[in-house]
Structure 1
Amino acid sequence: MTDPLTPVLTAEWGTDRAWTLDAYREAGGYQALEKALRMQPAAIVDMVKDSGLRGRGGAGFPTGMKWSFIPQDNPKPKYLVVNADESEPGTCKDIPFMMATPHTLIEGAIIAAHAINANQAFIYVRGEVLHVIRRLRAAAREAYAAGYLGQDILGSGVTIDLVIHAGAGAYICGEETALLDSLEGRRGQPRLRPPFPAVEGLYASPTVINNVESIASVPSIIRAGHEWFASMGTEKSKGYVIYSLSGHVKTPGQYEAPLGITLRELIELGGGMREGSELKFWTPGGSSTPLLTAEHLDMPLDYESVGAAGSMLGTRALQVFDQTTSVVRCVLRWTEFYKHESCGKCTPCREGTWWLVQTLQRLDEGQGRPGDIELLVDLCDNILGRSFCALGDGATSPITSAIQHFRDEFEAGMHTPSRELFPPAASTLFADRSLSLSKGLS
């Protein structure tokens, strides 16, 4: 097949010491910032709008439009917050990106802050990834020393400061308003909206919150032009993105390609399925998106096509599972995660995820009761759309879609444990290592 990869964000991942300022400038780094500083902020917003860039963090909302919501007549300070709290199971694009080329993100943050007339920007990083926090802070120090941050950037009269903030280590802090509460020093819990962050966000001031990949895409748009960016992808889903391919494939990893590529093409790029594997089900955007099956292999991976199939593109975390995997056990593990990470603020999510886990555990153990499948559906119906934020909705998505596509496995849970139908050893990605470890222990 013709290689459809379009390395832009990942182009320098193989460069020696790519994370340093010298290596980044050799690759054309900060040229976009120099250009942006000669532009009016409104012109930058218009360019990003014209490019068709949509949020890369899950919802796919147009980035330029989000920037334009900031009320410029509001006398309060404006803030830019970059959401680097990558926590969705299966999602693993932002952390390697920030490790490889942190200056791309910093340059994008400076340009975005200038576009919305913000003098202060924050990058909120998941607290556990200390190595990423250290690398970003080192890159920020280099940017300050080179005059790309601070007072009078490159003699333009523009002042922008950047804070790299270590997060609270909670999945809920990936929700933008919970992130703001955490950034302000409070317990991370979602806020009631309205008011929306664009009007009353960080410190009750107008705030833009964007994902790492959204902000990191901005320098290339400014440097190469919005027409170049819009020439990739599909009519309504433009540009390139990083797909995280994991699971039962020979070569899992990050694959940067235009929106609209298919899973079949990505699996081929990843060397195909592992020996003896057949695709059974997969997630298009992490564990909080409805499952899809082999019949969707040739579906374009863009926001519209995936939505029409009843799922969401989300963070483009493509978790691929073969015929050795128990759908019931897989969904149970995800639901246990959501139960643990629920902030407890609202009853549907706090109580609903607990009941979902109890019911799924019975089915996983082959001890299901008559009506358990209907109970799961009913619980999901009472959580969906009634929880305070999207965590509750995300917890229901894999369950309802799994019952839709694999109801027979849930029915088998009435009498047979999933470990007997699908031995875990057959599904593991590290069978040889597990075998050697077990021999060593014995």
Structure 2
Amino acid sequence: MTMAPEVSETSPEKLLAPVLSAFWDEPGSWTLETYLRHDGYAGLRKALAMTPDEVIAYVKDSGLRGRGGAGFPTGMKWQFIPQGDGKPHYLVVNADESEPGTCKDIPLLFANPHALIEGMVIACYAIRSEHAFIYLRGETVPVLRRLHLAVREAYAAGYLGRDILGSGINLDVTVHAGAGAYICGEETALLDSLEGRRGQPRLRPPFPAVAGLYACPTVVNNVESIASVPAILGRGKEWFRSMGSEKSPGFTLYSLSGHVAGPGQYEAPLGITLRQLLGMSGGMRPGHRLKFWTPGGSSTPILTEEHLDVPLDYEGVGAAGSMLGTKALQCFDETTCVVRAVTRWTEFYAHESCGKCTPCREGTYWLVQLLRDIEAGKGRMADLDKINDIADNINGKSFCALGDGAASPIFSSLKYFRAEYEEHIRGKGCPFDPAKSTVWADRTNPHPEVRA
């Protein structure tokens, strides 16, 4: 994990805003004792002094947008829950972090799980829920253990269970470990999985806010979204809005990875640029330059070196032709074959497709076949229009966003690197193949044996 270091007023690291990651490097950062030393559960006490509707309005006024990828306003999502309907209400936290390149929620839960638990109590108070669920990616066993420990600590200290802090409200939290399906990161597939069924997206409407878990009103939020709420209540909505931009306020976690000198988590206000983050992290690996990068994981359209100064907020990245997504900044240098990278991503989406809808199930399969042929030098020029056409038949025509995610790398890589695809076809193989390429033998590359 990379966190904000001790900095001077003039250093570029002043651009960082450590809130969720402020004490990740302290011994026992995941314990209740450490969390309480850093004003833990102070936001909850302030929330309990307000009415549930006032809490919803406060979070809405703060401008907090969902940190799971779509960027939907969190307070507005809470507001959609019908009241007085006589049904149980549920909060479900989506911790099934599966997007290639994304690594923010898992480190957050590992180092500071009580931020999530406090946020869950506040959210459940606001939406009048007495039962919440955390759907965690099951392979992350060390995180699962720490999360169970934190929940037990919260119960023992009176932050969960019956009559929380003497307020008369009750809340039980269930931690559920998923079986490792990418599709369960989609909120309705996650709900089906929680109910014991095969994880597949539901047809909407009805939306989860009306008929979600067990056909009851349900809010599904990302880990970082809920974990950000205690700081907003504790420090004030004006403080939160003082960071970021008007339409994308606040702080967030950026996952910087790939061919960079200092990969890790960088918590900064929305609107920081990749150039600034690279400046703080040591830039690309020595002797290399940036070729392309993803602003929000592999399901977002790739960007290039010309987009280094694009503000990393929802509006800025959208205007550049991509999506902020999960803020997974994967950076690739000039030794990376674009065709190879896109092929590997497409193989992932074909493997993880649930198979429910025809465009995604069939389309991703045929994209893989064509891309493999192009990478191996067996492709034809007509295949480039064919993969573009197949991607167009998937995009916007599947049950969930997996289809859109599979199409995004195709469209964007053809837009910026069509010549590289053509070079594979004309040269009957990958020009980045170490056996015949000068790229891999370049003396500026300190590790010619290492491929992307």
C-alpha offsets along residues 205-235 of structure 1, whole Å, 9 cap, x if unaligned?
0000000000000000000011100110001
SS of structure 2 residue aligned to 1:72: coil
1:257 aligns to 2:237 (yes or no) = no
| Aligned ranges 1:145-294 → 2 under 5 Å | 145-294=156-305
- In structure 2, the partner of 1:28 is 39
Query: Which one of 5, 18, 21 corresponds to residue 29 of structure 2?
Result: 18
Displacement of 1:422: 4.9
- In structure 1, the partner of 2:106 is 95
TM-align CA RMSD = 1.6
Measure, in 2, the Cα distance between the counterparts of 1:174 and 1:20.
27
Measure, in 2, the Cα distance between the counterparts of 1:274 and 1:85.
30
Which residue type is aligned with residue 22 of structure 2? A
Displacement of 1:421: 2.8
Matched-pair contact (CA < 8 Å) for 1:362–1:413: no
Displacement of 1:433: 11
Query: Which one of 382, 388, 391 corresponds to residue 377 of structure 1?
Result: 388
Query: Which one of 328, 334, 344 corresponds to residue 323 of structure 1?
Result: 334
Displacement of 1:412: 1.2
From the superposition, tell whether residues 163 and 426 of structure 1 become closer, same or farther in structure 2 (CA, over 3 Å).
Answer: farther
Q: 4+ residue runs of structure 1 moved beyond 4 angstroms?
A: 424-427, 430-435
- In structure 1, the partner of 2:4 is none
Measure, in 1, the Cα distance between the counterparts of 2:270 and 2:237.
16
Displacement of 1:32: 1.1
Measure, in 1, the Cα distance between the counterparts of 2:381 and 2:233.
59
Displacement of 1:130: 1.2
Measure, in 2, the Cα distance between the counterparts of 1:65 and 1:157.
26
Displacement of 1:73: 2.3
- In structure 2, the partner of 1:144 is 155
- In structure 2, the partner of 1:438 is none
- In structure 1, the partner of 2:82 is 71
Which residue type is aligned with residue 91 of structure 2? L
SS of structure 2 residue aligned to 1:421: coil
1:352 aligns to 2:363 (yes or no) = yes
Matched-pair contact (CA < 8 Å) for 1:178–1:188: yes
Displacement of 1:423: 3.3
Matched-pair contact (CA < 8 Å) for 1:262–1:301: yes
1:404 aligns to 2:397 (yes or no) = no
Matched-pair contact (CA < 8 Å) for 2:43–2:234: yes
Matched-pair contact (CA < 8 Å) for 1:325–1:422: no
Measure, in 1, the Cα distance between the counterparts of 2:146 and 2:122.
20
Displacement of 1:426: 4.4
Which residue type is aligned with residue 33 of structure 1? L
C-alpha offsets along residues 179-206 of structure 1, whole Å, 9 cap, x if unaligned?
0000001000000000000000000000
Displacement of 1:415: 3.3
- In structure 2, the partner of 1:391 is 402
Displacement of 1:269: 1.1
1:8 aligns to 2:19 (yes or no) = yes
- In structure 1, the partner of 2:71 is 60
SS of structure 2 residue aligned to 1:112: helix
From the superposition, tell whether residues 417 and 278 of structure 1 become closer, same or farther in structure 2 (CA, over 3 Å).
Answer: farther
Displacement of 1:38: 1.7
Measure, in 2, the Cα distance between the counterparts of 1:80 and 1:266.
34
SS of structure 2 residue aligned to 1:157: coil
Displacement of 1:59: 0.4
Measure, in 2, the Cα distance between the counterparts of 1:134 and 1:210.
21
Matched-pair contact (CA < 8 Å) for 1:168–1:182: no
Measure, in 1, the Cα distance between the counterparts of 2:41 and 2:113.
12
Measure, in 2, the Cα distance between the counterparts of 1:432 and 1:282.
20
- In structure 1, the partner of 2:7 is none
Matched-pair contact (CA < 8 Å) for 2:350–2:368: yes
TM-score, length basis structure 2: 0.93
Displacement of 1:121: 0.5
How many residues are treated as equivalent by the alignment?
433
- In structure 1, the partner of 2:144 is 133
- In structure 2, the partner of 1:439 is none
Matched-pair contact (CA < 8 Å) for 2:378–2:429: no
Aligned-pair identity (%):
67
Measure, in 2, the Cα distance between the counterparts of 1:257 and 1:418.
42
SS of structure 1 residue aligned to 2:110: helix
Which residue type is aligned with residue 335 of structure 2? T
From the superposition, tell whether residues 418 and 226 of structure 1 become closer, same or farther in structure 2 (CA, over 3 Å).
Answer: farther
SS of structure 1 residue aligned to 2:425: coil
Displacement of 1:401: 0.3
Matched-pair contact (CA < 8 Å) for 1:367–1:416: no
Measure, in 2, the Cα distance between the counterparts of 1:175 and 1:72.
25
SS of structure 2 residue aligned to 1:331: helix
Matched-pair contact (CA < 8 Å) for 2:336–2:432: no
TM-score, length basis structure 1: 0.96
Which residue type is aligned with residue 228 of structure 1? W
C-alpha offsets along residues 228-270 of structure 1, whole Å, 9 cap, x if unaligned?
0011000100000000000111000000000000000001111
- In structure 2, the partner of 1:85 is 96
SS of structure 1 residue aligned to 2:72: coil
Measure, in 2, the Cα distance between the counterparts of 1:261 and 1:418.
39
Measure, in 1, the Cα distance between the counterparts of 2:280 and 2:159.
38
Displacement of 1:118: 0.4
C-alpha offsets along residues 259-316 of structure 1, whole Å, 9 cap, x if unaligned?
0000000011111111111111100000000010111101111100111111000000
